[in-house]
Amino acid sequence: METHTHERTSGYREEIACALGLLFLIAAAVVEKNNGVSNITHGLYAGAYIFTGHQGLKSALASLRKWVIDIDGLMVLAALGAAIVGAPFEGALLLFLFSFSNVLQRYAMDRTHNAIQSLLKLRPDQALVKRSGGTVLVKVEELELGEIVIVKPGEQIPVDGKLVEGDTFVNEASLTGESMPVAKTVGSDVFAGTINQSGGVEIQVRKRSEDSALARMVKLVAAAQAEKSKTQRFLESAEQYYAVGVILLTIGVFLVPWLFMGVEFSPAFYRAMTLMVVASPCALIISTPATVLSAIGGAARVGILIKGGSHLDSAATIDIVALDKTGTLTAGKPALTEMVLPTGIQSLANPLDANGEAILRAAAALEARSEHPLARAVVDAAYRLKLSVPEATAFQSVTGHGAEATVESLHYLIGSERWFRESAAHGLDALVIHARPLQEKGHTCVWLGVREGEQLIAKAVLVMADTIRPEAKFLTSQLHKLGVKKVVMLTGDHQLVAKSIGAEIGIDDIRAELLPEHKLDIIRELKKEGRVMMIGDGVNDAPALAASDLGVAMGAAGTDVAMETADIVLMGDRLENIPLLLNHARRARRVLLENLIFAACIIVFLVVAALGFSLPLPIGVIGHEGSTVIVCLNGLRLLMISRSRL
């Protein structure tokens, strides 16, 4: 149909032409009923034909110049045929309904495009920027890299950048689909189109407006919607042959009764024109883009970017899901999980006793002076437990060993086991008994002691590990619920660590101590068992992502490499989006199947009625165009995607 090839360049021109055509059609019918056929009715019908049929005629002629016969050509021929046999009303009605259905279909398609394009409107047009010792309001497009932008509470962030002043919470729902505000501190990345909810902040511009994550997301979805699914490509390639077949069948249905069966010209020709109308595959052709574009648009609104209809097809048929561990199933950064004390092990999952709290307060006081990730893990644990962290004085960093400082009149040391052994620390062996099994599992241990005179006394071992995301168990259970045969974890971590994490999450197959090339080999091996989806960060997992049937980049807001390498990009960091993606793709496949079956059944029913029961042309027109609109509206349901469906 011309619907999926014609670009709107003239505002509401076609809607106005359709309305004028309807007015001419009604006027012609009224005049003909009251005064009979006359030059006036011929003129009014001609007006109806011109206004409702001009776009279809233009499209048909453009196709004929390429030696292609399409559905628009069939509709124009049928309408002209109706006029020839003295049924101009039916011909004009056909052209009006055909034009009207095109308007409705374009409206439906526009909704799928506007659902994404409207995201750009979330970005403000102007920004308050520091220049020449003051502030000035400039257009977002005029911002230069490195400039400082001021964003007040409640305002939208105008550009991608890095927070250089202030703390706040940012609503990133427009970009990632995540409804909960995200805490931002100095050094955090922020993105255009998101909303600064609390404190006033200053942001350093890191990307121009056209290169922002929001702009790239819109471009990515536009490109995805332009890529056609396998079903759509097949139907469009078959359209030419089908159209030629319909014309030949129409000629046969007209000539055989007229020449060989004694049927008069008018009824034979009328039946042939009716057949041409009802046999046209408008609903079949439009059902696929209506469904696929809506599915892509709906997914993008919750932060799932599908790069084309073919990838949507693939997501609906996944048998095996392979996941990178670090940063996907785990947080990707160390967290303090246990403390080994002379009295035993205390888990931070449970309340600490008074001695444990005192040890953690002292450790956090020392580590507060360091920017090392392990140090941040200790400080974060203290703040998470709402402990008051005292001031450390006389702080001194000891290269290659650790640090020491005075905290509340005691001289503390924190650092490696080797340092404590070189210092002949007292009480070391008692802690090693409990710490060694944790070290063997791949956990990182930091030692804390107190110096009393010349003697160093080991007080505790701080145990840190990459923690499992709380939603990881939900992920595996939902994947199994959706019928995924196997969930595989791929990691370069130690075997013991991998097995411990995999068992807790419910992973079916655990592959550890892998290099990137090993992951690639495993993906190829898994593809022998079924269709494989690989989920990673889009950088070190690039070979495996490329080799899988479907590569998915996790948490890729603002990450150029992830957007380029993967077939599907999850803008947010939510594991729940993975089963949501599979469920949405399967729902899209069901809706597409519904549309195809419905459209095919309507065509068969109308063709049988036209051949065997003298179906009136107006009824055929209504049935044909009505089915086209119905499949379009059914596909639009996929614009709505809900997590409650899981």
Residue 126: both structure tokens together:
């102007």
CA dist 176 and 223 (Å) reads 19
- Could you say which of 72, 160, 324, 466 is catalytic? 324
φ, ψ of residue 310 to 5 degrees: the values are -65, -35
Q: Which of 225, 26, 194, 31 lies closest to 124, judged by CA?
A: 194
**SS3 label, residue 532:** strand
- Please say if 313 is a catalytic residue: no
* 509 burial type by CB count under 10 A (0-12 exposed, 13-18 middle, 19+ buried): middle
CA dist 297 and 224 (Å) reads 9
Q: Write out the DSSP string of 302-367.
A: TTEEE--HHHHHHHTT--EEEEEIIIIIEEEEEEEEEEEETTEEEETTS---HHHHHHHHHHHHHH
CA atoms within a 13 Å half-sphere pointing along the CA-CB vector of 435: 24
Place of tokens 């495996």: 544
**Strands lying side by side in the sheet with 568-570:** 304-306, 568-570, 550-554, 532-536, 320-324, 486-490, 509-511
Give yes or no for a contact between 552 and 537, defined as CB atoms under 8 angstroms apart.
Answer: no
Give yes or no for a contact between 43 and 25, defined as CB atoms under 8 angstroms apart.
Answer: no
Q: Which of 635, 600, 639, 638 lies closest to 3, judged by CA?
A: 635
**Catalytic residue list:** 324
